[in-house]
Amino acid sequence: MVERKPSNLGFESWIDRQIREATERGEFDGLAGKGEPIPGAGTSVDESWWLNDYLRREGLSSDVMLPPSLLLRRDIERLPQGVRELASESRVREVVAELNERIVRWLRMPEGPIVPIRPIDVDKVVAQWREARAAPTTEPAAPSVPAQRAEPERVSWWRRLRGGR
């Protein structure tokens, strides 16, 4: 157990004394990496090298750091590709229903940056799924977004603030 700092000593001298005594007792001998630089420190311009290293070691994606609103937005954008491989219409409907449930939960109590998100039209996703299954498998499916967009619909600031509802 660590002893309490005496009131007549400053923090610096007390800490220095504890480090010196621990060194004399040999408590720092045999530590892994003794005398070596910290891996990745100072060799890169990236200040979050330690976080990237942690995510790599744990086998995690950087998506775990995204706020819920951005995760939902990403999942909405990836939905057409995600359901393309599903075998049945009922499974497509389940996946969209689960995503819509998460969206509604976020809309009821938003956290993180406010991003315009609205529930997905299940029938539209099912129709796209059917079209993708009917298309020949040799050619890639056409993107759901038209190549040339008309002028975007103007959305008032209030609707943007409320999530596009």
Domain positions in the chain are 65-137
95 with 82: CB under 8 angstroms?
yes
- How many Cβ atoms from other residues are within 10 Å of residue 122's Cβ? 16
Largest interatomic CA distance in the chain: 83
- What's the predicted TM-score (pTM) here? 0.53
Q: What sign for the dihedral angle of Cα 146, 148, 153, 158?
A: positive
CA distance 135 to 122: 20
CA distance 89 to 49: 44
- List per-residue pLDDT tens for the chain, 165 residues long: 467 767 777 666 778 888 888 989 998 888 887 777 776 666 656 777 788 888 889 998 888 888 999 999 999 999 999 998 888 999 999 999 999 999 999 999 998 898 899 999 999 999 999 988 887 655 555 555 555 555 556 667 666 666 655
